[in-house]
Amino acid sequence: MSLEETRLGGRRALVGGDGDDVLVFLHGGGGLHRDPSVELLAGDLRIVAPELPGFSAGEDDGDTSSFDAIAEWVVAALDEAHVETFTLAGVSFGAVLALHLALAHPDRVDALVLLAPAAFQPEDWRLPDLDGLDRALFAHPGPRPEPPDEATFGRRAEILGRLVGGLDRERLRARIAAIDAPTLVVFGTEDGLIPPEMGREYRAAMPTCSLVYLYDAAHELGWDRPDALAELVGDFARRREAFVVGA
């Protein structure tokens, strides 16, 4: 079932799918697109994928002062859609946002899916240059999200630099230990933006976390291997604790 574009919280959103269980999908720094894996997940999950404040094309004066501010906007938008509890998935920047939302509203989040999350990077980490960016994001040729105009790109880059760059990582590491929602971290083995080994940071910090490597996918997991990712995330959203034996 294809996702439909609608309005939520005064902004664009993609919604659709059947089923009692809701999967809220928080996009990454590239903005809201029809991620092929999310389209596939709309088979037996109800999908709500809002466009986050600051990420609209053209003018956007949403409150992007902090992850917490954006998380509060998401929760208000979900209230408007009468979504009470849900599996919360986020990609890269969206995964960091998901952690903040889960910390602020633990009663709303049944399970957490962090796709190539951007909270932790190696000490010598730097953004690839523009020529290397496509290779960092995608392991394979194929469809790509539409690139934004220059002004939108610049605004998104500013938000990413300010919020992700400004994270107090040690404080976050200590706080996420308290998350008790079953959590799945997925990294592509070919991720050129964030080393996939960063996945172990979450598993080490979060007692409820499982770590899965998605082979032959780069940072944009849902575009490189949509079927495999949809099956993985869908299975986790349905089974949660029965997904894997933790340790």
Partner 1 sequence: MKVGLWQPAEYAAEGLPTGWPAPGARWEPERGAESVRRAFELYDLAVENGFDMLSVAEHHGGYGSLVPSPTLMAAVLAQRYPDVTIGILGPILPLASPLRVAEEVAMVDVLSGGRTVVGFFRGVPTEYLLYGTPPAETGDMFREAFALVLRCWTEPEVFGWEGRHYRFRTVSTWPRPLQQPHPPIVSGVTNPEAAAWAGANGHRLGIFGAVVPPDRAAQCVDAYRAAGGGTGDDDILYRVRVYVADTDEEAEADAAEYELGNMRLLAAPEPERAAAAGKVLAALFGGGGAGHGGPPPRPEFCGAPETVIRQLRESRDAVGWGSLDVVATFPRLPYDKARRSLERFATEVLPALRGG
Segment contacting partner 1 by CB under 8 A, of 6-14, 133-141, 166-174, 197-205: 197-205
Closer to partner 1 by CB, 142 or 246: give it.
Answer: 246
Q: Which of 30, 199, 222, 234 binds partner 1 (CB under 8 A)?
A: 199
How many angstroms separate the Cα of 164 from the Cα of each of 2, 36, 38, 196? 32, 25, 24, 17
Binding pattern to partner 1, positions 44-63, x when CB under 8 A? Answer: --------------------
Q: Which of 10, 43, 122, 246 binds partner 1 (CB under 8 A)?
A: 246
Closer to partner 1 by CB, 11 or 238: give it.
Answer: 238
Closest separation in Å from C-beta 187 to partner 1: 10
Q: Which of 124, 149, 150, 245 binds partner 1 (CB under 8 A)?
A: 245
State yes or no: residue 205 binds partner 1 (CB under 8 A): no
Name the token pair of 153.
Answer: 């790109």
Question: Exposed (0-12), middle (13-18) or buried (19+): which is 165, by Cβ within 10 Å?
Answer: exposed
Tell me the DSSP string of 37-96.
HHHHHTTTSEEEEEPPTT-SSS------S-HHHHHHHHHHHHHHTT--SEEEEEETHHHH
Give every CB contact of residue 95 below 8 A, 6+ residues apart in sequence: 26, 28, 114, 115, 116, 117, 118, 119
* Cα–Cα dist 164/224, whole Å: 24
Q: Contacts with partner 1: how many residues (CB under 8 A)? A: 23
Name the token pair of 152.
Answer: 């939108």
Strands 4-8 and 183-188: unpaired
Closer to partner 1 by CB, 130 or 247: give it.
Answer: 247
State yes or no: residue 76 binds partner 1 (CB under 8 A): no
State yes or no: residue 11 binds partner 1 (CB under 8 A): no
User: What is the contact surface with partner 1 in residues (CB under 8 A)?
Assistant: 186, 189, 197, 199-200, 203-204, 210-216, 225, 228-229, 232, 243-247
